[in-house]
Amino acid sequence: MNENLKRLTDAGVSIWLDDISRERLRSGNLAALIRDKNVTGVTSNPTIFASALSKGDAYDAQLRDLATRGVTVEEAVRAITTFDIRWAADVLRPVFDATRGVDGRVSIEVDPRLARKTEATIAEARALWWLVDRPNLHIKIPATVEGLPAITQAISEGISVNVTLIFSLERYRQVMDAWLSGLEKAKANGLNLATIESVASFFVSRVDTEIDKRLDKIGSPEAAELKGKAAVANARLAFAAYEEVMNSPRWQTLRAAGARPQRPLWASTGVKNPDYPDTLYVEQLVTAGVVNTMPEKTLDSSADHARISGDTIRPFYQQAWDVMASLKQAGIDYDDVVRALEEEGVEKFEASWTELLETVDSELRKA
């Protein structure tokens, strides 16, 4: 195993790959990453699938079959994406078994056009859970206001959930409350809580992108000094909030009943500003009991030159609070930032889903 990635794993960080494609699966690349780079999970989203469909010939045979059957475009998209997710879940099943269900997980997202529709999201989560039919599946549900009751309901029915598109500390606390409520209902329903696993995907790099843009507009020397600091500070404070919940009597009661923690998952960890170190959101967010899902480029950079040196979250809570206070003093409206990021995140995934539908429609017509 790569030494840098081994140090990351030894520090308690689970390394997941933020990518999936039929070509990666059929070539054995995912299996190789599990073996050589300690990848222990996979996340997907509409953008990733749209990209995968646009490259190579890996989907051609299935597309021909779907065209012959005359299925709708949306049915074809579900057939294609769930095929890949099942395959990835099977490749990761040994990891799932070896970690007793902690890792070895694969995520698939509900149709992002449903992000503001609670009942439709619940129905979609149930359908995907049934369709993929793998114990190491995560259903991704966005952390919109409308998504929160869907998270509770899915968890209460024994569906493992990856809560996605979390940007704000307040929303993260609401997500944890929704998760705990779901576990309490599952317990009341007599379900085995140990089989219900969840992660909360807290987005990182997009926070710096948005806040840096606003700092540039402010233009003061003090504002310039704060660039590239917001995302890490925000994520560190999210972990502080997580620790508070983990120490609460409410969680202790559920843990005693067999429940598993909802681990924080650092998402959007590819560095978008070339002026910043390309392993910034790996090196600065290390602590035991978290997941870092990385694009392959970030994974390769981390394997090559990441410097992993102990816990870089817990000792820095005060520093994180100081950064957030300085941002406010500089004129950054945090609530407006995270509201804009959530709206943009939903819009981007909706656009990618539309692109995916259009790509499949085009391919079906050619098949």
- Any idea which residues carry the catalytic annotation? 140
CA 51/CA 111 separation, integer angstroms: 16
3-state DSSP assignment of residue 288: coil
DSSP 261: P
CA 288/CA 285 separation, integer angstroms: 10
CA 305/CA 64 separation, integer angstroms: 44
**331 to each of 18, 49, 328, how far by Cα in Å?**
34, 38, 5
**2 to each of 93, 106, 212, 301, how far by Cα in Å?**
22, 22, 33, 12
Evaluate the CA torsion angle 354, 358, 359, 361 in order and state its sign: positive
CA 171/CA 218 separation, integer angstroms: 27
Structure tokens at 225: 């000094």
Structure tokens at 165: 């598109």
Name 291's bridge partners: 14, 265
